[in-house]
Structure 1
Amino acid sequence: MNANSTDSTDSTSDTSTTDSSAKTPVTLLGLGDMGIALGRAWLAAGHPLTVWNRTPEKAGPLTAEGARAVATPAEAVAAASGPVVLCLLDDASVSETLEGVDLRGKDVVNLTTNTPAEGRRRAAWASERGARFLDGGIMAVPPMIGIPETGGYVFYSGDRALLEQHRETLEVPAGVTFVGEDAGHAALHDIALLSAMTGMFAGITHAFALVEPEKDLDRARFAGLLAEWLGIMSGSAQDLAAQLESGDYEEGVVSNLAMMATANETFVATAREQSVDPRLLVPFIDVMRQRVDQGYGDEGLAGTVGLIRSE
């Protein structure tokens, strides 16, 4: 993971101090695995923490460490003098949880997984209720929270003044990467990166399916080779970005689409020889072949981006 962005002050905090006298209070709604991890990080850093969860028993681990649990979201929000952090199931859960709750003058930080459109609608919804709003996309799993060396971070978008006011507090669980005042951009970055990860997982799964029948093959060594190769190939993201930016889809191309499309035939043939269903590869292979058939065989992959867009 990489927390670099156009925001040059991205960082993670030092949570070594536990003096709560000068620490910003945090109100946290939602205590699933991620919510618990966030709460523990703030408590360890000395932030007074008020928590609410639909199932009250889930607050137990945090109250044992010093958090104050309340019975309703309205009570939690009313008492908030710092950020109100939402870490709920989905956008519908946010609506249900905060239905009728007075948000005037509050700072709402939404770390609930949503879509870009939901992030924008939620920002407008908060503004109508007199609240400032940040949307966030967490690029970490719960064990990474509160441990800066793991590299976890959160994409934030929306009200930058809110972010800067509470930056020190928000940096406690994970690094901060601001991606713009369009409230939908945190979710967009989050889902784009996770979508790329899903494609990578598909490739890894296919690769292991190919080698699985070979009983004398060292899987641990193969995994090391695979991880190294994927790391090297990840640099192609910069090449694709440059081509999309310039509009020259042949710029810097080393392996063109025509060559890749020919190699793809061997990939499919090998899969069948190894009794592997190639369905994890075929959709992208088909898009590449379509672009070649349109006469763009000298390009890199940038031209395939337009093929999979619906507008």
Structure 2
Amino acid sequence: MTLKDNLPKIALGAWAWGNDGTFGDEHKIEDLKPIYEKSMELGLNLWDTAYVYGMGKSEEVLGEFLKTSNREDFVISTKFTPQLAEMFEANEVTSMYENSAKILGVEDIDIFWIHNPVGAPDWTKKLVETANDHDIKMIGVSNHNLAEIKEANEILKDAGLKLGAVQNHYSLLNRSSEDSGILEYCKENDIIFFSYMVLEQGALSGKYDTAHPFPEGSDRANAYGGSLAEIEELNKAIADIAENHNAKVAQLPIAWAIAKGTLPIVGATKVHHVEDAADAIKIELSDDEIKTMEELADKANVNTIRIWEKEMK
């Protein structure tokens, strides 16, 4: 069986474990360990990280936990970030790959990504060299638009390789990867679409509203703080649908992302985040419920494009 056949329905994201200020909280390793243990217990063994998440901190923390598991029992996804290339020797892609593998404590990384299209397609060409030297089971590109994805796919095909995954921001509030044809292209070309920020860093969890704002000074407070009234109304409407499934508000956007044929990456900083995500896999939304949720999201009209990304066209 291929790696694709063995992937769980969701991935666990360790971005917040890097404590880089994006989430406004400092997460201690002793608080994160139970999250890892619960995830593995529930069969959620696909972990997504990147060196840039805390400049190695996320990978370091995750690597400590991986030591407690057999290598065949987990899947690791990490990234080459072009903006950090100058920190590494040539071939920069290979150097960052090997650095991440060392921090994570593994010989090879299962899924390796070009984090964004800065410098594309040159980095994709260098990734070919890395793939020839290392056992990368799946190659992916992240934050790429449709033209950039097609270009990367052609480069890999010419080298006898395959683009196996695309990872973009995709949520009820940001469906530009669908509107641009990226989801359809992935489906037609046997490419897994990984959707990140399906909960918009907690904005679609039901936890935050006008009376309960995001952590002061965090990046997400700056990004979503001005739209809390609209987000609050959207979450109230989603709560009505969640009630039909005896579910929580935070589970519906995850179930929606799965129903759309994507593999969502869910950030977990508490054990109940993992448990909720596992239960969300079991929710089967009707076509009418999916349509209603999307119409409600369109009505909210919240801009979720962050400083590191672009709207896919």
Specify if TM > 0.5: no
- TM-score in terms of structure 2 length: 0.33
Which protein is bigger by CA-based radius of gyration? Answer: 1
| Larger RCO (CA under 8 A, 6+ residues apart) | 2
